[in-house]
Structure 1
């Protein structure tokens, strides 16, 4: 049994009482357009779980649905044993969930420090300096840009800031939506290494939505494939990497 499979089994056995995040039969729609069709998904404590799929498959819609916007039309979302299906977004985010959204969505007129302060707004101020050091250890470039406005940062620096801002809220579950989008390969490598370090060194649970299937599945303990709003495949990251249909559809026939 390879290391990824062993880690996944160990993590699931350690959390057999319940997943940290459980999605059951979730259907979401924009008006008459159904975006999610009966989605079932689990994320256990200490895991990195990824969802891959083509653009428009419904991946980002699922991420936003977890956070309460758009609303679930049917089905349930359970987080840490609590049904959050009908909670407003601000209450959901107070429960220990943080999101780094698609497109980063930092505050462009605010400095790096001010963006990080916004991320820490709901946390005991006593943790601020320690959390700031944690972010700077992960992304030293942000310390160099501390007084710079977010909108003047490079794309990679903005992504680091978006993740750093999310971490300042001390989440139990980190939602990452397309963190590699539009970034140079070297920066993508840095971002994925940071995600791996957070999980390995701190045990942070991560749910990652990505179009970059190779990097995402290589990183993840488990993965799901979404096609037209439905989960069509699941397995460990390595199992999905080896599947011919995944390689043909998302890895250019097996080439990285």
Structure 2
């Protein structure tokens, strides 16, 4: 059955004007051994946009996210961030270019407290705005303030996802990359996570590249979207436009899979 819920207001239009994209992925091919996982992917993310990449499990979404960060390395093609070719750049150097990633599976430091995890995120920026940024994260995710001295591994799945995003934000990124932030979370927590992403984009102008299986929420949120199938981009367009396409609805929105 198709989703019949009332759609949230469309996202505010992102800045346009034909400027060079903040992130440009061109003809990227990535391999695991002899298996080609990405088969020549092209993706643009412009400043101030929320761009989502949707696709089924195994389509190559997380591989693209990791390839942008240099692990694994693109065997062919080019990745340009803010006018700089980062295709061959080491991962630790990419992290210092104001790109932050909240990876699939959250990957927080389970034995560290919430506070210590956030300190780890701030270390990339040299702790120059630690107190100010800590308040912003706590304002966005009040639950983290309540759990400030609790070990990360004892948090709920939703709290761990909030912590993973908060840790990424502590590095003061200009581009925030989120890999499956809704995975395994209850619907109410999913809504809180997506509301936080929307607010970061609206209030801070933060550019977001979002990889998601949850096509309904991701396309509602995004200014633009890409559909990835078996390592190839098969469709692109405005988020709301893709949400209404019959082939997208049939593949990703039928049967309550949202």
TM-score normalized by the length of structure 2: 0.94
Q: Could you tell me which of 71, 85, 91 is aligned with 2:73?
A: 71
Separation of aligned partners in 1, 2:12 and 2:116? 41
1:41 paired residue number: 43
Shift of 1:17: 2.6
Q: Could you tell me which of 154, 163, 166 is aligned with 2:165?
A: 163
Gaps of 5+ in 1: none
Determine whether 1:244 maps to 2:246.
Answer: yes
8 A Cα contact 2:95 2:124, kept in partner: no
Determine whether 1:12 maps to 2:19.
Answer: no
8 A Cα contact 1:217 1:237, kept in partner: yes
8 A Cα contact 1:45 1:205, kept in partner: yes
8 A Cα contact 1:100 1:166, kept in partner: yes
2:5 paired residue number: none
Deviations 1:138-164 (A, max 9, x none): 000000000000000000000000000
1:185 paired residue number: 187
Shift of 1:248: 0.1
TM-score normalized by the length of structure 1: 0.95
Separation of aligned partners in 2, 1:127 and 1:252? 45
Separation of aligned partners in 1, 2:194 and 2:92? 28
Separation of aligned partners in 1, 2:128 and 2:32? 42
Deviations 1:106-153 (A, max 9, x none): 000000000000001121323000000000000000000000000000
Determine whether 1:21 maps to 2:23.
Answer: yes
RMSD, matched Cα:
1.4
Separation of aligned partners in 1, 2:11 and 2:142? 32
2:130 paired residue number: 128
Deviations 1:141-189 (A, max 9, x none): 0000000000000000000000000000000000000000000000000
Separation of aligned partners in 1, 2:153 and 2:118? 14
1:140 paired residue number: 142
Partner SS, residue 128 of structure 2:
helix
Gaps of 5+ in 2: 1-8
8 A Cα contact 2:11 2:222, kept in partner: no
